[in-house]
Amino acid sequence: MKAVLFDLGGTLVKTAPPPRVFRRILRSHGIQKPLADISSAFKKVERQQSIDDYQLPYEEFWRTYNTRILELLQVDGDFGKLADTITDEWWDNADLTLFPDAKETLLMLKERGLKVGLVTNGFQKDIDDILSRTGLTGIFDVTVGADAVRKPKPEKEIFVYAINKLVVRTQEALFVGDNAKTDYEGSRKAGLKPILIDRNNEVKKRIRKIRDLRGVMAFI
């Protein structure tokens, strides 16, 4: 193995559940909506999302996403302005934290001479913000968001793009993520060797799993 690539959210960093973050921001602007309604709206919007949405620029993508939720919640006022405000204030309200095994694992891999990469369905602007807030800026050899190829995981193009940037072959790279479909199956179909980080031992499938990121060292 010459490289290890990671998912970001749920793998290296964790946040409050998105509906709770959304409710927190609405409340700060005097808008009260039940958490159950917000959670339901999130589920509906996520089901409606398509690859075509990822053709949009960053600001327009999130303005569209947030507006869809606000419409379902029947919030009064200027949707566009409020949608942009939610995007701008998101990371200040997300309870963003680094998993305790994340930075140590990344540094151990670098010390072993391996390249490390990041592949996430977030956009590069959010990636940069998250890395800055969690002290991970400068650690990765490559960071790839969905806007790099206009296609999210599990589409193989996003994995192949990262591999090409690292100048390694797919069979020389591991991919570690917390989602069995987008991370594990997506990277496997792209030719990488997948590992599922399953911290709470919730996935019962017979697949390659670890419960602590430091466990990736056994596969090097």
Q: What is the mean pLDDT of each run of 10 residues along the chain (220 residues)?
A: 97 98 97 98 95 94 96 90 97 98 97 98 97 97 96 96 97 97 97 97 91 96
Total-model pTM: 0.94
Q: Give residue limits of the domains in the chain.
A: 3-14+97-219, 18-89
Class of domain 3-14+97-219: alpha beta
Rg (CA), the chain: 18
Closest CA to 141 of 113, 158, 112, 118: 118
Provide the residue type at 142 as one letter.
Answer: V
The residues near 113 (Cβ < 8 Å, ≥ 6 apart) are none
Fold match, 3-14+97-219 / 18-89: no
CA-based end-to-end distance of the chain: 6
| CB atoms near residue 185 (< 10 Å) | 17
pLDDT of residue 176: 98
Q: Within the chain, where are the H helices?
A: 18-28, 35-48, 58-73, 79-89, 102-111, 124-134, 156-166, 186-189
Q: Using alpha carbons, list the distances in angstroms from residue 187 to 10, 22, 112, 167, 182.
A: 16, 30, 23, 17, 8
**Encoding tokens for residue 22?**
């959304």
CATH of domain 18-89: 1.10.150
- The pLDDT of residue 8 is 98
Q: Look at residue 159 in the predicted model and tell me its pLDDT.
A: 98
- pLDDT of 78 reads 82
Give the burial string for 189-207 (b: 16+ CB within 10 Å, else e): ebbbbbbbbbbeeeeeeee
pLDDT at 46: 94
| pLDDT score for 205 | 84
pLDDT of residue 77: 79
